[in-house]
Protein backbone atom coordinates (compact mmCIF):
# COMPACT_ATOMS: atom_id res chain seq x y z
CA UNK A 1 0.00 0.00 0.00
CA UNK A 2 1.31 3.48 -0.89
CA UNK A 3 1.85 6.36 1.46
CA UNK A 4 -1.20 8.05 2.97
CA UNK A 5 -0.75 11.77 3.54
CA UNK A 6 -1.81 13.45 6.79
CA UNK A 7 -3.00 17.00 6.10
CA UNK A 8 -3.68 19.95 8.39
CA UNK A 9 -5.28 22.46 6.02
CA UNK A 10 -5.10 25.52 8.25
CA UNK A 11 -6.57 28.99 8.04
CA UNK A 12 -3.17 30.70 8.27
CA UNK A 13 -0.68 27.88 7.67
CA UNK A 14 -0.90 24.28 6.50
CA UNK A 15 1.24 21.28 7.41
CA UNK A 16 1.66 17.72 6.13
CA UNK A 17 3.14 14.55 7.59
CA UNK A 18 3.58 10.86 6.77
CA UNK A 19 4.60 7.70 8.63
CA UNK A 20 8.24 6.66 8.42
CA UNK A 21 9.52 3.76 10.48
CA UNK A 22 6.23 3.60 12.38
CA UNK A 23 6.62 7.23 13.48
CA UNK A 24 4.93 10.41 12.15
CA UNK A 25 7.28 12.80 10.33
CA UNK A 26 6.54 16.36 9.16
CA UNK A 27 7.46 17.04 5.51
CA UNK A 28 9.03 20.42 4.76
CA UNK A 29 7.97 22.31 1.64
CA UNK A 30 10.37 23.02 -1.23
CA UNK A 31 11.38 26.26 0.50
CA UNK A 32 12.55 24.19 3.48
CA UNK A 33 9.79 25.33 5.85
CA UNK A 34 7.80 22.86 7.94
CA UNK A 35 4.57 24.83 7.54
CA UNK A 36 3.21 26.49 4.38
CA UNK A 37 1.21 29.75 4.35
CA UNK A 38 -2.37 29.02 3.25
CA UNK A 39 -2.23 31.71 0.59
CA UNK A 40 -2.75 31.87 -3.17
CA UNK A 41 -1.85 34.88 -5.32
CA UNK A 42 -2.68 35.73 -8.92
CA UNK A 43 -0.49 38.24 -10.77
CA UNK A 44 -1.40 40.60 -13.60
CA UNK A 45 0.90 38.50 -15.81
CA UNK A 46 -1.28 35.42 -15.35
CA UNK A 47 1.03 33.68 -12.87
CA UNK A 48 -0.18 31.84 -9.77
CA UNK A 49 1.87 31.79 -6.56
CA UNK A 50 1.09 29.47 -3.64
CA UNK A 51 2.39 29.44 -0.09
CA UNK A 52 5.61 31.29 0.75
CA UNK A 53 5.83 33.11 -2.59
CA UNK A 54 2.22 34.27 -2.31
CA UNK A 55 2.88 35.71 1.14
CA UNK A 56 6.04 37.52 0.03
CA UNK A 57 4.20 39.55 -2.59
CA UNK A 58 0.97 40.17 -0.66
CA UNK A 59 1.82 43.78 0.27
CA UNK A 60 2.26 44.84 -3.37
CA UNK A 61 -0.60 42.73 -4.74
CA UNK A 62 -3.24 42.71 -1.97
CA UNK A 63 -6.38 42.53 -4.13
CA UNK A 64 -5.18 39.38 -5.90
CA UNK A 65 -3.76 37.61 -2.85
CA UNK A 66 -6.19 35.22 -1.15
CA UNK A 67 -5.74 34.23 2.49
CA UNK A 68 -8.06 32.94 5.21
CA UNK A 69 -10.20 31.11 2.62
CA UNK A 70 -10.90 28.35 5.16
CA UNK A 71 -13.37 30.77 6.78
CA UNK A 72 -15.37 30.78 3.54
CA UNK A 73 -15.35 27.08 2.68
CA UNK A 74 -18.79 25.50 2.83
CA UNK A 75 -20.40 28.86 3.64
CA UNK A 76 -23.10 30.89 1.92
CA UNK A 77 -22.43 34.47 0.86
CA UNK A 78 -25.42 35.73 2.84
CA UNK A 79 -24.19 34.23 6.13
CA UNK A 80 -23.74 36.98 8.70
CA UNK A 81 -20.25 35.72 9.50
CA UNK A 82 -19.25 35.92 5.83
CA UNK A 83 -20.70 39.42 5.54
CA UNK A 84 -18.57 40.51 8.48
CA UNK A 85 -15.43 39.47 6.56
CA UNK A 86 -16.18 41.50 3.44
CA UNK A 87 -14.77 44.76 4.79
CA UNK A 88 -11.81 43.01 6.41
CA UNK A 89 -10.41 41.29 3.33
CA UNK A 90 -8.66 43.01 0.41
CA UNK A 91 -10.15 40.65 -2.16
CA UNK A 92 -13.80 40.45 -3.23
CA UNK A 93 -16.31 37.91 -1.90
CA UNK A 94 -19.23 37.28 -4.26
CA UNK A 95 -22.20 34.86 -4.32
CA UNK A 96 -22.05 31.97 -6.77
CA UNK A 97 -25.10 30.92 -8.81
CA UNK A 98 -26.16 28.71 -5.87
CA UNK A 99 -25.47 31.37 -3.23
CA UNK A 100 -22.12 30.01 -1.99
CA UNK A 101 -19.38 32.44 -0.94
CA UNK A 102 -16.81 32.62 -3.74
CA UNK A 103 -13.74 34.76 -4.34
CA UNK A 104 -13.49 37.09 -7.34
CA UNK A 105 -10.15 38.09 -8.81
CA UNK A 106 -10.54 40.53 -11.71
CA UNK A 107 -13.34 38.93 -13.78
CA UNK A 108 -12.74 35.33 -12.65
CA UNK A 109 -14.56 33.72 -9.73
CA UNK A 110 -13.10 30.87 -7.68
CA UNK A 111 -14.78 28.66 -5.11
CA UNK A 112 -13.04 28.29 -1.72
CA UNK A 113 -12.72 24.60 -2.57
CA UNK A 114 -10.73 25.46 -5.68
CA UNK A 115 -8.39 27.84 -3.83
CA UNK A 116 -7.94 25.25 -1.08
CA UNK A 117 -7.23 22.60 -3.72
CA UNK A 118 -4.36 24.71 -5.05
CA UNK A 119 -2.81 24.72 -1.58
CA UNK A 120 -3.41 20.97 -1.10
CA UNK A 121 -1.93 20.21 -4.52
CA UNK A 122 1.26 22.07 -3.59
CA UNK A 123 1.46 20.09 -0.34
CA UNK A 124 0.86 16.87 -2.27
CA UNK A 125 3.67 17.69 -4.71
CA UNK A 126 6.06 18.40 -1.82
CA UNK A 127 5.17 15.04 -0.25
CA UNK A 128 5.61 13.18 -3.54
CA UNK A 129 9.02 14.79 -4.05
CA UNK A 130 10.05 13.77 -0.53
CA UNK A 131 8.77 10.19 -0.85
CA UNK A 132 9.73 9.72 -4.53
CA UNK A 133 6.32 8.19 -5.23
CA UNK A 134 2.83 9.19 -6.26
CA UNK A 135 0.43 9.80 -3.36
CA UNK A 136 -3.29 9.38 -3.98
CA UNK A 137 -4.85 9.08 -0.51
CA UNK A 138 -5.02 11.26 2.59
CA UNK A 139 -6.44 11.84 6.05
CA UNK A 140 -7.51 15.46 6.42
CA UNK A 141 -8.22 17.44 9.58
CA UNK A 142 -11.04 19.93 10.11
CA UNK A 143 -12.05 22.07 13.09
CA UNK A 144 -14.26 20.14 15.48
CA UNK A 145 -16.95 22.79 15.02
CA UNK A 146 -17.13 22.40 11.23
CA UNK A 147 -20.63 21.50 10.06
CA UNK A 148 -21.54 18.98 7.38
CA UNK A 149 -21.33 21.45 4.49
CA UNK A 150 -17.85 22.57 5.54
CA UNK A 151 -16.66 18.96 5.86
CA UNK A 152 -18.05 18.05 2.46
CA UNK A 153 -16.40 21.12 0.93
CA UNK A 154 -13.06 20.15 2.47
CA UNK A 155 -13.41 16.69 0.94
CA UNK A 156 -14.12 18.32 -2.46
CA UNK A 157 -10.96 20.43 -2.15
CA UNK A 158 -8.79 17.37 -1.55
CA UNK A 159 -10.44 15.47 -4.40
CA UNK A 160 -9.84 18.41 -6.74
CA UNK A 161 -6.16 18.19 -5.77
CA UNK A 162 -6.09 14.50 -6.75
CA UNK A 163 -6.42 12.92 -3.32
CA UNK A 164 -8.94 10.36 -2.12
CA UNK A 165 -10.03 11.28 1.41
CA UNK A 166 -9.97 8.16 3.57
CA UNK A 167 -11.00 9.97 6.75
CA UNK A 168 -12.04 13.46 7.81
CA UNK A 169 -11.25 13.90 11.50
CA UNK A 170 -11.51 16.66 14.08
CA UNK A 171 -8.33 18.62 14.68
CA UNK A 172 -8.26 18.29 18.49
CA UNK A 173 -8.77 14.53 18.25
CA UNK A 174 -5.87 14.15 15.83
CA UNK A 175 -3.70 16.39 17.98
CA UNK A 176 -4.33 14.04 20.89
CA UNK A 177 -2.95 11.18 18.78
CA UNK A 178 0.17 13.24 18.07
CA UNK A 179 0.73 13.85 21.77
CA UNK A 180 0.61 10.11 22.33
CA UNK A 181 -2.60 9.72 24.31
CA UNK A 182 -2.77 6.24 22.81
CA UNK A 183 0.03 5.36 25.24
CA UNK A 184 -1.96 6.57 28.23
CA UNK A 185 -3.80 3.78 30.06
CA UNK A 186 -6.38 5.82 31.97
CA UNK A 187 -7.29 9.42 32.63
CA UNK A 188 -8.77 12.58 31.14
CA UNK A 189 -7.06 14.89 28.65
CA UNK A 190 -8.12 18.34 27.37
CA UNK A 191 -7.03 19.48 23.91
CA UNK A 192 -6.97 23.28 23.65
CA UNK A 193 -6.71 24.21 19.96
CA UNK A 194 -6.44 27.93 19.10
CA UNK A 195 -5.37 28.36 15.50
CA UNK A 196 -5.48 31.06 12.87
CA UNK A 197 -9.21 30.97 12.28
CA UNK A 198 -10.95 28.77 14.85
CA UNK A 199 -10.94 27.73 18.49
CA UNK A 200 -11.78 24.19 19.61
CA UNK A 201 -11.66 22.52 23.02
CA UNK A 202 -12.14 18.78 23.43
CA UNK A 203 -12.18 16.53 26.49
CA UNK A 204 -10.98 12.94 25.98
CA UNK A 205 -11.22 9.94 28.27
CA UNK A 206 -8.54 7.25 28.01
CA UNK A 207 -9.48 3.84 29.33
CA UNK A 208 -8.14 0.38 28.53
CA UNK A 209 -6.95 1.22 25.02
CA UNK A 210 -10.13 3.09 24.09
CA UNK A 211 -9.96 6.84 23.61
CA UNK A 212 -13.29 8.55 23.69
CA UNK A 213 -14.04 12.20 23.06
CA UNK A 214 -16.38 13.08 25.92
CA UNK A 215 -17.30 16.57 24.73
CA UNK A 216 -16.19 19.27 22.34
CA UNK A 217 -16.96 22.98 22.17
CA UNK A 218 -15.47 26.03 20.55
CA UNK A 219 -15.87 29.11 18.42
CA UNK A 220 -15.53 28.98 14.62
CA UNK A 221 -15.00 32.75 14.54
CA UNK A 222 -12.17 33.14 17.03
CA UNK A 223 -8.56 32.71 15.98
CA UNK A 224 -5.29 34.42 15.22
CA UNK A 225 -6.86 36.39 12.38
CA UNK A 226 -9.22 38.06 14.85
CA UNK A 227 -6.33 39.01 17.12
CA UNK A 228 -4.47 40.42 14.11
CA UNK A 229 -7.53 42.45 13.15
CA UNK A 230 -7.68 44.08 16.60
CA UNK A 231 -3.97 44.94 16.49
CA UNK A 232 -4.29 46.24 12.93
CA UNK A 233 -7.13 48.55 13.94
CA UNK A 234 -5.09 49.88 16.83
CA UNK A 235 -2.10 50.63 14.57
CA UNK A 236 -4.31 52.24 11.92
CA UNK A 237 -6.03 54.40 14.54
CA UNK A 238 -2.69 55.47 16.02
CA UNK A 239 -1.44 56.44 12.58
CA UNK A 240 -4.61 58.44 11.90
CA UNK A 241 -4.36 60.26 15.23
CA UNK A 242 -0.76 61.24 14.57
CA UNK A 243 -1.04 62.14 10.88
CA UNK A 244 -4.74 62.68 10.17
CA UNK A 245 -4.53 60.11 7.36
CA UNK A 246 -7.05 57.26 7.10
CA UNK A 247 -5.41 54.32 5.29
CA UNK A 248 -8.56 52.15 5.08
CA UNK A 249 -9.08 52.90 1.37
CA UNK A 250 -5.44 52.18 0.47
CA UNK A 251 -5.34 48.38 0.18
CA UNK A 252 -1.57 48.24 -0.15
CA UNK A 253 -1.11 50.26 3.05
CA UNK A 254 -3.73 48.14 4.80
CA UNK A 255 -1.88 44.94 3.87
CA UNK A 256 1.44 46.35 5.11
CA UNK A 257 -0.13 47.23 8.46
CA UNK A 258 -1.80 43.81 8.65
CA UNK A 259 1.55 42.11 8.21
CA UNK A 260 3.09 44.40 10.82
CA UNK A 261 0.27 43.52 13.23
CA UNK A 262 0.91 39.79 12.82
CA UNK A 263 4.66 40.28 13.28
CA UNK A 264 4.11 42.42 16.38
CA UNK A 265 1.91 39.71 17.89
CA UNK A 266 4.56 37.04 17.23
CA UNK A 267 7.44 39.14 18.55
CA UNK A 268 5.65 40.01 21.78
CA UNK A 269 5.20 36.31 22.45
CA UNK A 270 8.93 36.14 23.23
CA UNK A 271 9.86 39.79 23.87
CA UNK A 272 8.49 42.26 26.41
CA UNK A 273 8.74 45.21 24.00
CA UNK A 274 9.03 45.67 20.24
CA UNK A 275 8.83 48.36 17.57
CA UNK A 276 6.73 48.82 14.44
CA UNK A 277 8.41 50.77 11.64
CA UNK A 278 6.67 51.18 8.29
CA UNK A 279 8.37 53.87 6.17
CA UNK A 280 6.46 55.65 3.40
CA UNK A 281 3.12 54.22 4.49
CA UNK A 282 1.18 57.14 3.01
CA UNK A 283 1.59 60.52 1.34
CA UNK A 284 0.57 63.59 3.34
CA UNK A 285 0.46 67.31 2.42
CA UNK A 286 4.15 67.63 3.30
CA UNK A 287 5.24 64.43 1.57
CA UNK A 288 5.77 60.79 2.67
CA UNK A 289 4.51 59.81 6.14
CA UNK A 290 5.82 56.89 8.19
CA UNK A 291 4.35 54.69 10.93
CA UNK A 292 6.68 54.24 13.86
CA UNK A 293 5.73 53.20 17.39
CA UNK A 294 6.73 50.89 20.20
CA UNK A 295 4.51 48.54 22.19
CA UNK A 296 4.94 46.67 25.44
CA UNK A 297 3.62 43.14 25.89
CA UNK A 298 1.35 44.42 28.64
CA UNK A 299 -0.20 46.95 26.23
CA UNK A 300 -0.87 44.21 23.70
CA UNK A 301 -2.45 41.97 26.32
CA UNK A 302 -4.80 44.76 27.44
CA UNK A 303 -5.74 45.33 23.80
CA UNK A 304 -6.68 41.71 23.09
CA UNK A 305 -8.13 40.85 26.49
CA UNK A 306 -11.76 40.89 25.23
CA UNK A 307 -10.83 38.10 22.80
CA UNK A 308 -8.96 36.18 25.50
CA UNK A 309 -12.08 36.35 27.66
CA UNK A 310 -14.02 34.53 24.91
CA UNK A 311 -11.91 31.42 25.58
CA UNK A 312 -13.52 30.76 28.95
CA UNK A 313 -17.10 29.84 28.04
CA UNK A 314 -16.32 27.02 25.53
CA UNK A 315 -13.87 25.46 28.01
CA UNK A 316 -16.45 25.58 30.80
CA UNK A 317 -19.10 24.14 28.46
CA UNK A 318 -16.85 21.24 27.43
CA UNK A 319 -16.03 20.34 31.04
CA UNK A 320 -19.68 20.52 32.05
CA UNK A 321 -20.89 18.39 29.14
CA UNK A 322 -18.11 15.86 29.79
CA UNK A 323 -19.34 15.63 33.37
CA UNK A 324 -15.98 16.40 34.96
CA UNK A 325 -14.16 19.33 36.57
CA UNK A 326 -10.75 20.83 35.80
CA UNK A 327 -9.36 18.96 38.81
CA UNK A 328 -10.18 15.65 37.10
CA UNK A 329 -7.89 16.41 34.14
CA UNK A 330 -4.50 14.75 33.96
CA UNK A 331 -3.09 16.81 31.11
CA UNK A 332 -3.85 19.80 28.85
CA UNK A 333 -2.49 19.69 25.30
CA UNK A 334 -1.86 23.00 23.51
CA UNK A 335 -2.43 23.08 19.75
CA UNK A 336 -2.24 25.93 17.25
CA UNK A 337 0.21 28.78 16.83
CA UNK A 338 -1.80 31.15 19.03
CA UNK A 339 -1.03 29.01 22.09
CA UNK A 340 2.53 30.39 21.93
CA UNK A 341 1.26 33.68 23.37
CA UNK A 342 2.01 33.97 27.10
CA UNK A 343 -1.42 35.46 27.84
CA UNK A 344 -3.12 32.48 26.18
CA UNK A 345 -1.07 30.02 28.22
CA UNK A 346 -1.80 31.98 31.39
CA UNK A 347 -5.52 31.81 30.65
CA UNK A 348 -5.31 28.06 30.02
CA UNK A 349 -3.59 27.60 33.37
CA UNK A 350 -6.23 29.73 35.05
CA UNK A 351 -9.05 27.63 33.56
CA UNK A 352 -7.55 24.16 33.87
CA UNK A 353 -4.68 24.43 36.33
CA UNK A 354 -0.97 23.99 35.64
CA UNK A 355 -1.20 20.76 33.62
CA UNK A 356 0.09 21.96 30.23
CA UNK A 357 2.03 19.48 28.08
CA UNK A 358 4.84 20.79 25.87
CA UNK A 359 5.61 17.53 24.11
CA UNK A 360 4.74 18.49 20.50
CA UNK A 361 5.16 21.62 18.38
CA UNK A 362 1.67 23.22 18.45
CA UNK A 363 1.95 24.16 14.76
CA UNK A 364 2.58 20.54 13.76
CA UNK A 365 0.47 18.53 16.19
CA UNK A 366 -2.60 18.17 13.97
CA UNK A 367 -0.64 17.09 10.89
CA UNK A 368 1.34 14.58 12.97
CA UNK A 369 -1.92 13.21 14.37
CA UNK A 370 -3.34 12.91 10.85
CA UNK A 371 -0.25 10.93 9.90
CA UNK A 372 -0.76 8.63 12.91
CA UNK A 373 -4.32 7.99 11.73
CA UNK A 374 -3.04 7.35 8.21
CA UNK A 375 -0.60 4.83 9.69
CA UNK A 376 -3.47 3.09 11.47
CA UNK A 377 -5.45 2.90 8.22
CA UNK A 378 -2.39 1.70 6.30
CA UNK A 379 -1.54 -0.98 8.86
CA UNK A 380 1.79 0.63 9.81
CA UNK A 381 0.67 1.46 13.35
CA UNK A 382 -1.25 -0.67 15.81
CA UNK A 383 -4.92 0.30 15.70
CA UNK A 384 -6.48 2.12 18.61
CA UNK A 385 -10.18 2.57 19.35
CA UNK A 386 -10.88 6.27 18.91
CA UNK A 387 -14.46 7.44 19.49
CA UNK A 388 -15.18 10.98 18.35
CA UNK A 389 -18.32 13.09 18.76
CA UNK A 390 -20.46 15.41 16.67
CA UNK A 391 -20.03 18.97 17.93
CA UNK A 392 -23.37 20.38 16.79
CA UNK A 393 -27.05 19.52 17.14
CA UNK A 394 -28.66 18.08 14.01
CA UNK A 395 -32.37 18.53 13.43
CA UNK A 396 -35.24 19.72 11.29
CA UNK A 397 -36.76 23.15 10.86
CA UNK A 398 -40.33 23.20 12.19
CA UNK A 399 -43.14 25.73 12.27
CA UNK A 400 -42.29 29.10 13.75
CA UNK A 401 -38.63 28.99 12.66
CA UNK A 402 -37.89 26.46 15.43
CA UNK A 403 -35.61 23.40 15.44
CA UNK A 404 -36.62 19.86 16.30
CA UNK A 405 -33.32 18.25 17.38
CA UNK A 406 -32.80 14.63 16.35
CA UNK A 407 -29.10 14.03 17.07
CA UNK A 408 -27.75 16.03 19.99
CA UNK A 409 -24.29 17.58 20.12
CA UNK A 410 -21.51 15.50 21.68
CA UNK A 411 -23.15 12.25 20.59
CA UNK A 412 -20.50 9.62 19.82
CA UNK A 413 -20.04 9.01 16.11
CA UNK A 414 -20.77 7.12 14.00
CA UNK A 415 -24.38 7.36 15.12
CA UNK A 416 -27.93 7.38 13.84
CA UNK A 417 -31.30 8.54 15.13
CA UNK A 418 -34.78 8.98 13.73
CA UNK A 419 -38.06 10.76 14.27
CA UNK A 420 -41.59 10.14 13.01
CA UNK A 421 -43.38 12.77 10.91
CA UNK A 422 -46.68 12.80 9.05
CA UNK A 423 -48.63 14.76 6.43
CA UNK A 424 -50.79 17.83 6.97
CA UNK A 425 -53.07 17.45 3.92
CA UNK A 426 -55.23 14.64 2.51
CA UNK A 427 -53.59 12.57 -0.25
CA UNK A 428 -50.30 14.44 0.16
CA UNK A 429 -47.78 12.78 -2.17
CA UNK A 430 -44.58 14.25 -0.82
CA UNK A 431 -43.04 15.80 2.27
CA UNK A 432 -40.41 18.52 2.16
CA UNK A 433 -38.22 19.01 5.21
CA UNK A 434 -35.25 21.28 5.89
CA UNK A 435 -32.28 19.90 7.78
CA UNK A 436 -30.27 22.28 9.96
CA UNK A 437 -27.15 21.92 12.08
CA UNK A 438 -26.24 24.14 15.00
CA UNK A 439 -26.70 24.80 18.69
CA UNK A 440 -29.46 27.42 18.41
CA UNK A 441 -33.14 26.52 18.83
CA UNK A 442 -33.90 29.09 16.11
CA UNK A 443 -33.59 27.54 12.65
CA UNK A 444 -32.40 30.69 10.87
CA UNK A 445 -29.43 30.89 13.25
CA UNK A 446 -28.24 27.37 12.33
CA UNK A 447 -26.41 26.12 9.24
CA UNK A 448 -28.89 24.98 6.60
CA UNK A 449 -27.69 21.65 5.21
CA UNK A 450 -30.35 21.38 2.55
CA UNK A 451 -33.97 20.96 1.57
CA UNK A 452 -34.92 17.29 1.37
CA UNK A 453 -37.86 15.87 -0.61
CA UNK A 454 -39.50 12.50 0.14
CA UNK A 455 -41.76 11.56 -2.76
CA UNK A 456 -44.20 8.79 -3.76
CA UNK A 457 -46.09 8.74 -0.46
CA UNK A 458 -49.28 6.65 -0.91
CA UNK A 459 -52.52 8.66 -0.92
CA UNK A 460 -53.94 8.69 2.60
CA UNK A 461 -55.85 11.08 4.86
CA UNK A 462 -53.82 13.82 6.58
CA UNK A 463 -52.00 12.54 9.63
CA UNK A 464 -52.25 8.90 8.55
CA UNK A 465 -48.80 8.26 6.98
CA UNK A 466 -46.03 7.47 9.43
CA UNK A 467 -42.84 8.81 7.89
CA UNK A 468 -39.63 7.98 9.68
CA UNK A 469 -36.79 10.31 8.80
CA UNK A 470 -33.47 8.78 9.79
CA UNK A 471 -30.29 10.78 10.25
CA UNK A 472 -26.86 9.14 10.12
CA UNK A 473 -23.50 10.67 10.93
CA UNK A 474 -20.53 8.62 9.77
CA UNK A 475 -17.05 8.45 11.28
CA UNK A 476 -16.05 11.53 9.27
CA UNK A 477 -18.90 13.56 10.76
CA UNK A 478 -20.69 13.65 7.39
CA UNK A 479 -24.49 13.51 7.45
CA UNK A 480 -26.80 11.36 5.32
CA UNK A 481 -30.59 11.09 5.44
CA UNK A 482 -33.13 8.41 4.54
CA UNK A 483 -36.93 8.37 4.66
CA UNK A 484 -39.20 5.38 5.36
CA UNK A 485 -43.01 5.34 5.08
CA UNK A 486 -43.79 2.89 7.90
CA UNK A 487 -47.20 1.66 6.74
CA UNK A 488 -46.12 0.59 3.27
CA UNK A 489 -42.42 0.02 3.91
CA UNK A 490 -41.54 2.44 1.14
CA UNK A 491 -37.89 3.50 1.45
CA UNK A 492 -36.46 6.57 -0.24
CA UNK A 493 -33.09 8.26 -0.08
CA UNK A 494 -33.52 11.96 0.33
CA UNK A 495 -32.02 14.24 -2.28
CA UNK A 496 -30.26 17.41 -1.19
CA UNK A 497 -31.61 20.15 -3.43
CA UNK A 498 -30.14 23.38 -2.07
CA UNK A 499 -27.11 22.43 -0.02
CA UNK A 500 -23.94 24.47 -0.06
CA UNK A 501 -21.35 22.82 -2.29
CA UNK A 502 -20.08 22.40 -5.82
CA UNK A 503 -22.23 20.81 -8.50
CA UNK A 504 -20.78 18.13 -10.76
CA UNK A 505 -20.30 20.73 -13.50
CA UNK A 506 -18.57 23.14 -11.13
CA UNK A 507 -16.24 20.37 -9.99
CA UNK A 508 -15.37 19.51 -13.59
CA UNK A 509 -14.79 23.18 -14.45
CA UNK A 510 -12.52 23.55 -11.43
CA UNK A 511 -10.52 20.46 -12.41
CA UNK A 512 -9.89 21.97 -15.85
CA UNK A 513 -8.54 25.19 -14.33
CA UNK A 514 -6.25 23.42 -11.85
Which member of 100, 114, 156, 171 is catalytic? 171
Residue 249 to residue 120: CA distance in whole angstroms = 33
* Local structure of 90: helix, strand or coil: coil
Separation between Cα atoms, residue 414 and residue 407, nearest integer Å: 11
Is the Cβ–Cβ distance between 96 and 109 less than 8 Å?
A: yes
Whether residue 193 lies in the annotated active site: yes
Residue 399 CB neighbours (<10 A): 7
Measured in degrees and rounded to the nearest 5, phi and psi for residue 290 equal -115, 155
Active site residue 20: no
Q: Taking a C-beta distance cutoff of 8 angstroms, is the pair 128, 175 a contact? A: no
Q: Are strands 210-219 and 385-390 parallel, antiparallel or unpaired?
A: parallel
Choosing from 70, 122, 182, 492, the catalytic residue is 70
What is the DSSP pairing of strand 39-42 with strand 23-26?
A: unpaired
Give the whole-angstrom CA distance, residue 253 versus residue 286. 18
Q: Which residue, among 481, 438, 453, has the nearest Cα to 75 in the 3D structure?
A: 438
283 burial type by CB count under 10 A (0-12 exposed, 13-18 middle, 19+ buried): exposed
Is the torsion defined by CA of 52, 55, 61, 66 positive or negative? Answer: positive
Distances (CA, A) of 145 to 320, 355, 447: 17, 24, 12
Q: Which of 3, 8, 55, 228 is catalytic?
A: 8
Cα gap 2→137, rounded to integer Å = 8
DSSP string, 469-492: EEEEE-TTS-EEEEEEETTTTEEE
Nearest CA to 431 out of 388, 469, 404, 474 is that of: 469
Catalytic residue among 156, 193, 200, 226: 193
Please state the three-class secondary structure of 102-163 as a single string. EEEECCEEECHHHHHHHHHHHHHHHHHHHHCCCCCEEEEEECCCCCHHHHHHHHHHHHHCCC
By annotation, the residues acting in catalysis are 8, 70, 171, 193
Amino acid sequence: MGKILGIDLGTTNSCIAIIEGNEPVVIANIEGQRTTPSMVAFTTKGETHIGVHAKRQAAVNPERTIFGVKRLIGRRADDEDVKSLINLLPYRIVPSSSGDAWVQIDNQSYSPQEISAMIVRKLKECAESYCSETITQCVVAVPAYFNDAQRQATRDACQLAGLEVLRIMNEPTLAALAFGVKKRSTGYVAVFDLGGGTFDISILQCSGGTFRVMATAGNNHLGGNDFDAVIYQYLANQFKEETGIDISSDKMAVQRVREAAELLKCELSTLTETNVNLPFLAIGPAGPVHLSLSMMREELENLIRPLIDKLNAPCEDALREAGITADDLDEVLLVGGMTRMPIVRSRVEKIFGNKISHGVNPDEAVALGAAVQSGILGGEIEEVVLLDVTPLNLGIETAGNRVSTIIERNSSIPTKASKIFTTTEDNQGFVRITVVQGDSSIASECARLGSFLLTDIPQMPAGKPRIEVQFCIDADGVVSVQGIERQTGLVKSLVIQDAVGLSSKQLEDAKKRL
